[in-house]
Structure 1
Amino acid sequence: MKYLLNSFCYAFLVVLLSSCIDSYAPDVIEHPESFLVVDGFINSRGVTTIRLSRTVSLQNNGTIPVETKAVLYLEDEAGLRYPLVEGKAGTYQSAALTLSTAKKVRLRIKTAAQKDYASDYATVKVTPPIDAVNWRVQDGGVQVFVNAHDDTKQSRYYRWEYEETWEFTSAYRSYLEFKDGKMQPRRDDIYHCWSSENPTVIKLGNTVKLAQDIVSDFPLRLLPSNSVKLRYRYSMLVKQYVQTPDEYAYWEALRKNTESIGTLFDALPTQLTGNVHSLSDASEVVIGFVGAHSMTQKRLFIHYTELPRDWKYETGYEKCMVLDTIPKPGEPSSVNVLSYFLDNLYVPVDQVVEAPQLTYVASSADCIDCRKRGTNVKPEFWP
């Protein structure tokens, strides 16, 4: 009886709670302000790239609007200015610069609407070289690490980004192509390709509690043992930046807001307070932190022959298991075989020589043409 009563109470509670849940859309979603977003840093040893955009409503599924036709320049404490020129819409670049560490520097912005913004003056820092990017097999895959140090103990706060590139092949190799109204030997290789990815994960590390300014085997990326990226050859380009404590704190808050939310015990989202401000309206929210430092980088390669032989890799083409025969079985011999290839829905693989009539094996472009997932142009840095 006690069990039945408890079950009834539980069921009643579930119904009661479910009947009390209404969808809630806060006013900020319905009537959002369009805040300026400033993305980039002042490169003290190279080209500075700054991207300007605007925030959009959470309900907006369209593209993010960029801020175009703005006037940007870098300015040091002595008043020396270095202009940035807009290339791609919303993206502004300077010439290659070498900035003095003795003078603080900031970013100035004037939008097309004649609104002025500026970042706080920042101390110019020089990022030390990356000592090594290494890897080892562990945790059911390949773990990639970064190592660095600063003998002057002036770095302490580090941030890393990485770009991944890998070689892959499509499901089938095509020896023929339908071009200029006829079938002919294929000239372009659409079987071997390369693909690249720039993960947005935020990787931060500091040595504040250490006697030495040494980063030892900081984990950057764990690739599962079946990853398609490891099937032939994989490369990672690691970029390293040193930051001030304030810039590091900004990126740490951004990391928590974007990566650590999802359970009851995760950190609550916080208001991002950057170092870019409106000069005409102190209450205006501007998103972004513009630090001043250099960037160092190092590239890693992993070849499949260096990995365990029993690993089985995904191809990305697991659904491309069966080739089609053109013409299809049972079709009359009078059918126009080449018409199958007019609209590019089918891509020929090869001709069936022993067939009594003109016959080809073919598949969809998604299964044959690797350019659908990458490029067949070999990267300049590839071995």
Structure 2
Amino acid sequence: MSVRRLLLVLIFSTMSGCIDPFEIETENFENILVINAIITNEVKNQEILLSRTFRFEDDGPLSEEGATVKVIEDSSVEYLFEESSAGTYRSIQEFAVNSGREYQLSIRTSDGKSYVSDKVTLPQETSIERVYPQRITNDDGVEGLGIFVDTFDPTGNSQYYRYEFEETYRVIPPKWYPFDLVVTRERPLFFEFDLVERSESQRICYANNVSNNIKITNTINFEEDRITGLEVSFIPAEDIRIENRYSILVRQYVQSREANGFYEILSSFSESESLFSQIQPGFITGNITSESNQDDKVLGYFDVSSVSEQRIFVDRDDFLADLPSYELKCEIFRPEPGFGTLLEYHMLIRDFIESNTVRYYTDVPLPPDGSFPFTFMRTECADCTTAGVSEVPDFWID
């Protein structure tokens, strides 16, 4: 076994276990066009995503490329879309949907098949009243931070709501060290090493997550069109997201009754306890059909929604200071010279450096030389770029 391979075995041997692979194969697979089309009352380049269904054993969905996409307003005004990346189509011009007008989606795929949506209109525009954090204990007995929303439509016309969020949090590695170890020269019997200043960009980073669940609610059985204390997210106290400073942008979509029904069914499928449930869901019918062939299935919904958003910032100490926090195991790796030659030891150190799985770290204030035992730390303990990016977001407030 080479020195490099031995190194990787040493690093990861304690992190791996014995898992027997389970092969999944899909039977009766149908290649169906999947359309993710939501346009809003925001003036922007609207975006529509096209892909194909995929088998369990595949890596992921296949993007639908080369399609012609447009949104038609009142059967006369056309907004054309262009493919900005594989399967992602953005409107050539910025536009927003307006109340009192009808909108229809038209798609023609590269193989000549045409798809069209029902005509839809913009629902009532209603703004979020408040987004706020609160310390809670969830149904599983876990303490943490809940994010809640209040909203109210005095006209009583909104009724159907869907929520998404995007969260950003600051990451500070617990064992950041100001120097990196580098090989400066490889001699026949040994290597020469030196310390160079480590980039400050590895010291503080910002990570980003986008919600991937479907959160819908309605007020049809309420005396007034008001939502109070709707929980849109929960963060356990020991989660890295709330280890330092945290921000969340909550987006509220007011949608039609038909769109709500579609997302409700979609949500019930996605929350199924097991992929191997004996109850097999049928096909989810949306408001998009094939013009080329009535038997040609399409999965998706053309959604026209009014949107309101609100961002808040949270510091851990304001809510969770007395609770256990996120703890990253950061043990020092100290490769021992063993009984090999000095050159073999230096080759091992070089491979540690080049593996990018560790960073140089020392707990003694002595400069290393050729015989001094070098020490290292797992990269995520010393370099924040493993979790995020160093550039401060434009919206960030300290």
TM range (shorter): 0.7 to 0.9
Q: Give the distance between the partners of 1:328 and 1:368, measured in 2 at CA.
A: 24
2:257 paired with 1:253: no
Q: 1:371 aligns with which of 385, 388, 393?
A: 385
2:376 paired with 1:362: yes
Q: 2:195 aligns with which of 167, 180, 183?
A: 183
Cα gap change, 1:265/1:368 in structure 2, threshold over 3 Å: closer, same or farther? closer
The amino acid across from 1:141 in the alignment is G
Q: Which residue of 2 aligns with 1:103?
A: 101
2:62 paired with 1:43: no
TM-score by length of 1: 0.83
Moved more, 359-368 or 223-232: 359-368
Q: 1:286 aligns with which of 272, 289, 298?
A: 298
Q: Which residue of 1 aligns with 2:90?
A: 93
Q: Give the distance between the partners of 1:283 and 1:217, measured in 2 at CA.
A: 44
Cα gap change, 1:125/1:355 in structure 2, threshold over 3 Å: closer, same or farther? closer
Alignment gaps of 5+ in structure 1:
1-24
| CA displacement at 1:261 relative to structure 2 | 4.1
Q: Give the distance between the partners of 2:119 and 2:51, measured in 1 at CA.
A: 22
The amino acid across from 2:375 in the alignment is V
Alignment gaps of 5+ in structure 2:
1-23, 138-142, 185-193
Q: Secondary structure at the match of 2:213?
A: coil
Give the CA RMSD over aligned residues: 2.9
Q: Deviations over 1:46-82 (max 9, x none)?
A: 3321100000123x23231010111111112332111
Q: Secondary structure at the match of 2:95?
A: strand
Q: Give the distance between the partners of 1:101 and 1:156, measured in 2 at CA.
A: 16
Moved more, 116-125 or 98-107: 98-107
Cα gap change, 1:249/1:267 in structure 2, threshold over 3 Å: closer, same or farther? farther
Cα gap change, 1:345/1:56 in structure 2, threshold over 3 Å: closer, same or farther? closer
| CA displacement at 1:354 relative to structure 2 | 3.9
Q: Which residue of 1 aligns with 2:333?
A: 324
Q: Contact 1:127 / 1:240 at 8 angstroms: preserved in 2?
A: no
Q: Which residue of 2 aligns with 1:218?
A: 230
Q: Deviations over 1:188-212 (max 9, x none)?
A: 3313222211121110011111232
The amino acid across from 1:173 in the alignment is W
Q: Contact 1:172 / 1:191 at 8 angstroms: preserved in 2?
A: no
Q: Secondary structure at the match of 2:241?
A: helix
Cα gap change, 1:270/1:252 in structure 2, threshold over 3 Å: closer, same or farther? farther
The amino acid across from 1:324 in the alignment is F
Q: Secondary structure at the match of 1:250?
A: helix
Number of aligned residue pairs: 354
2:204 paired with 1:192: yes
Q: Secondary structure at the match of 1:30?
A: coil
2:156 paired with 1:142: no
User: Which 4+ runs in 1 deviate beyond 6 A?
Assistant: 263-268, 329-334
Q: Give the distance between the partners of 1:255 and 1:303, measured in 2 at CA.
A: 32
Report % sequence identity.
24
Moved more, 169-178 or 137-146: 169-178
2:169 paired with 1:157: no
Q: 1:314 aligns with which of 313, 326, 350?
A: 326
| CA displacement at 1:343 relative to structure 2 | 4.6
Q: Give the distance between the partners of 2:275 and 2:358, measured in 1 at CA.
A: 47
Cα gap change, 1:326/1:380 in structure 2, threshold over 3 Å: closer, same or farther? farther
TM-score by length of 2: 0.80
Q: Give the distance between the partners of 1:268 and 1:357, measured in 2 at CA.
A: 65
Q: Which residue of 2 aligns with 1:18?
A: none
Q: Secondary structure at the match of 1:41?
A: strand
Q: Give the distance between the partners of 1:35 and 1:117, measured in 2 at CA.
A: 12
